[in-house]
Amino acid sequence: MGDMRANLNTRVLTAVVCLILIAVTAAAEVERIEITSRMVFAEGMEFGETGAYERLTGRLFYAVDPSNPANARIVDLGLAPRGQDGKVRFQGDFLLIKPIDLAQGNGRLLYDVNNRGNLYMLRHINDAIGSNDPSLPEHG
C-alpha cells in the first residue's frame, strides 16, 4: 500500500510540475522533487464528498539552459554560474494541498502564484482565514 501511494503521489507531483511549467514562458526542467513535510490538512476535516486533504511541502530543483531563446527574458541568466552541461540550476519551495484519496477529487489543479511569499487562494475562494502556513480548519 505504501509503495502504491508513494508512486501515486510522485505521479501527482510530476503532473503539478508539468502544469506549472506549461504556464510559464521560460523553458525549464524539474530535475528533482524533495518532499520535506507531509501532514493531514485541517486536522482531518472532511470537505464535502472529496473528504480529508493532506498537505505536502518541499522543494523543486530546476535546470534552465541560458542559450535557449525561450529563456532570453530571464534577467541576468547569462551571468549565473553554470554546471558542466551549461545549465543554470536553482530551487524553489512548493506547498500542495490535495485530497488524501485522489479518486475522490475532481482531477483539477488550482494553482496559486504567490506574491512576495503571501498565499491568497484559500481565503479568496473559501473565505478562509489568511495564512502563509495553512494547516488548521479555519485555513481551509
Q: Is residue 72 over pLDDT 70?
A: yes
pTM equals 0.71
> Cell 479568496 maps to which residue?
124
Sequence-separated (6 or more) residues with CB below 8 Å from residue 112: 119, 120, 121
Confidence band (pLDDT; 50, 70, 90) for 109?
confident
**43 band by pLDDT with thresholds 50, 70 and 90:** very high
Which residues 6+ apart lie within 8 Å of 29 measured at CB? 21, 62, 63, 64
Core vs surface per residue 27-36: b (16+ CB within 10 A) or e: ebebeebeee
CB atoms within 10 A of CB 40: 13
Contacts of residue 32, Cβ cutoff 8 Å, sequence gap at least 6 = 60, 61
Is 36 within 8 Å of 83 (Cβ atoms)?
no
